[in-house]
Chain A
Amino acid sequence: MNRMTFLGSTGALLMLISGAALTACDGGVQHYAGPVRVTDPVQITEAAPQDGALSSAASLITKELSGDPKFGSVALEQGKLVIMWHGPENDRIALLRDQLPGVDISIRSAACVPGTVMDRAGTLLTEDARVRVVGMANDGSHVVVTVSEGADSSALAAAYEARLGCPVRLETGGVVPATGK
């Protein structure tokens, strides 16, 4: 407290703009029109770059297979791409292999049907207030359901399994928006 002193006041200003002024001049903010010098003294530490070809391939596969209920996800694992997929490979995957020569693509067989299960999980999320997060395990073997309470209830897990048509692992938790003040 001895760092604080109470003095008289002087000062500059803090200004507000009226709504009328805003309406009249909205959009009149000056645009930037000149070179900029990079001035930040902080040494920027970004990530080591990922392989551009593999990344592009992963992105393309995701784009092309999204919406197919048999498709779960693409994973980059030790320099190759692994597609989580339910059932036998189809023509779309064969086509992607042709489009991406030189890219090592393998299939990880999903026990559950990812798209179907996640559609049902979305409905569960909307209808059951306890359910906060749902996500399929990357091997397609089960769904992780995060609930606000009751994660230790085997009856609840069984009920969700029956509804989703896929084994369920319950966790406790939830998410909140990352907004600020």
Chain B
Amino acid sequence: MRWRSTAVGVTAIALSLGGGLAANAADGPAEAPPPADALASIQPSSSGIELLTLPPVSEEMSELASELSGKHTDDPNFASVEVTRKRDRIIVYWHGAPSRELLDTIESRPLVPIEIRPTQLAPSMLKGKAASLAHKDATVGSIGLKHDGSGLLVTLKESPENGWEKAAASSRFSTSLGVPVEVASDAAPVPAANARQFDVNYHLGGARIYDRGSGGACTSGFAVRQNITSREAMMFAAHCGPVGSQWSVYDGGPHYYIWGAVAARDTYHDGAIIDSGWSQPYSWTAAWNSYVYTPINGSAYPYVGQEICYSGSFSGLKCGNIVQQVDVGYELGGDLTDIKGFRTQHSNGEPAVGNGDSGGPGYQIVSSANGLKRNAVGIISAIPRESGSSCQGVPGNSAPGGRKCSSTAYATSVSSIAASLGYYIPVW
């Protein structure tokens, strides 16, 4: 499963059966959050190769697979992307002739072996069938495309008691929809292992999160607690979504899990709270696709000359960002007409923050009598309008709407957001 969460993360097709991204239906009551000491503090580690159950995926292959999945998810002819178990090539499941955009993406990585496999059925048609079945049949627990576009796969709210019952349900659905439908024998699988990209169980800052309605991506910021009730929640950016918008994480395939809905926003500091129910005072760190996290030991206000380490879920960790200016006002449209934040500049002019990092953590590292401490300082908010496509982590794209990155970043004060919304930053 560890492998699965790194490599199968490329098979994302998010269909909406009641809105945007779908969520898992794991049964049973939620357990109490784990004790803080259950999570190890960060340590530079051995290679980790010994923990894989399949050969490691090359970085370039992984990046291309991720790029393919991200760029083409909304294309009606796109079914999924798969990295083979031998790790010798990527397979794109596509209906009809490949689009120019798909070919451009593939040709941008000439060294990665690619295979395009035609799907029997149009993914867009299957998605429509899936949505209609989900809405009209109360026995359906989950429904989705087979990743090769050959039909649908359904689980029932109550598992079939025998093979005959499964076959009968499969026949009934296939006849009703006019496409092949396979009924699985059990409920949704257990979530995959956790990582920055697939933070199903930990609920840490720096995780990739998705708006269930729009499918837009942001990054979680810092674990917070409500001042009076101590209810656990997650801070991120207000511009990511309105109050009520639901935020989910991907498990590496095939599910999205709801973390919670936005419960409060501070438009003056571009900060918001996801009512996640639980969260832990750690941040995912290192590369954009890492498994590594580190404790958050406190919080601090921004000041000029402070060095910030950003850890967005698209760019990964980037330190060396020096606060140039505090109390900077800027606007991002909508109800965010007068945001107060701070501006950082990377000391070597390297890209530090880009699209997809919004909401993510910015922390400082300080020395203390008890060793190093990481203090929550900022929530990633914005980048200059003229930013380029040179990015760390997930590659940039110079096309309009493509991912852009910058050595200049605008962030907002975690402490100010927390004070405004009635939360505090728990410490490890």
Contact = CB atoms under 8 A, between A and B. Distances in A.
Contact of B34 (A8, A29, A31, A61): A31
Interface stretch (A99-107, A150-158, A173-181): A173-181
A17 interface: yes
A165 interface: no
Contacts of B281: none
B188 to A, nearest CB: 7
Interface string A34-71: 11111111111111111110011011011100100000
Given A30-B201, A133-B329, A16 B191 contact: no
B318 to A, nearest CB: 9
B177 interface: no
A20 interface: yes
A43 B304 contact: no
Contact of A40 (B70, B130, B291, B366): B291
Contacts of A38: 40, 42-43, 45, 48, 291-292
B166 interface: no
Helix, strand, loop or mixed for chain B's interface?
loop
A15 B142 contact: yes
B34 A32 contact: yes
A74 B237 CA distance: 25
A28 to B, nearest CB: 5
B277 to A, nearest CB: 7
B304 A138 contact: yes
Contact of A19 (B19, B80, B332, B384): B19
B343 interface: yes
B305 to A, nearest CB: 4
Interface string B248-286: 000001111110000000000000000001100000011
Nearest to B373: A52
B22 A22 contact: yes
A131 B339 CA distance: 13
B31 A174 contact: no
A126 to B, nearest CB: 5
Given A25-B25, A29-B201, A49-B372, A9 B119 contact: yes
A31 B30 contact: yes
Given A40-B45, A176-B383, A126 B28 contact: no
Kindly name the residue among B237, B255, B331, B410 whose own CB sees the greatest number of chain A CB atoms within 10 A. Answer: B331
Contacts of B307: 47-48, 50
A15 B202 contact: no
Interface string A1-23: 10111111111111111111110
B303 A180 contact: no
B225 interface: no
Nearest to A8: B117
A45 B44 CA distance: 9
A175 B48 contact: no
Contacts of B223: none
A37 B51 contact: yes
A173 B385 contact: yes
Contacts of A52: 366-369, 373
A175 B336 CA distance: 12
A73 B365 CA distance: 20
Contacts of A81: 303
Contact of A35 (B40, B118, B303, B328): B40
A61 B31 CA distance: 42
Interface in B91-150: 93, 103, 106, 110, 113-120, 130, 134-135, 138, 140-150
A123 to B, nearest CB: 8
Interface in B1-39: 2, 11, 13, 15, 17-19, 22-34, 38-39
A82 to B, nearest CB: 8
Nearest to A72: B327
Nearest to A60: B301
Nearest 4 CB-CB pairs, A to B?
A180-B356, A19-B18, A11-B148, A15-B144
Given A13-B145, A13-B147, A31-B33, 12 more contacts: A7-B115, A9-B118, A14-B79, A16-B130, A21-B140, A52-B369, A58-B300, A58-B306, A131-B331, A177-B332, A179-B218, A179-B239
13 contacts: A7-B115, A7-B117, A12-B147, A16-B143, A18-B143, A21-B25, A28-B30, A42-B286, A43-B44, A134-B330, A177-B358, A178-B382, A179-B240
Interface of A: 1, 3-22, 24-52, 55-56, 58-59, 61-63, 66, 72-77, 81, 114, 118, 121-123, 125-126, 131-136, 138, 146, 173-181
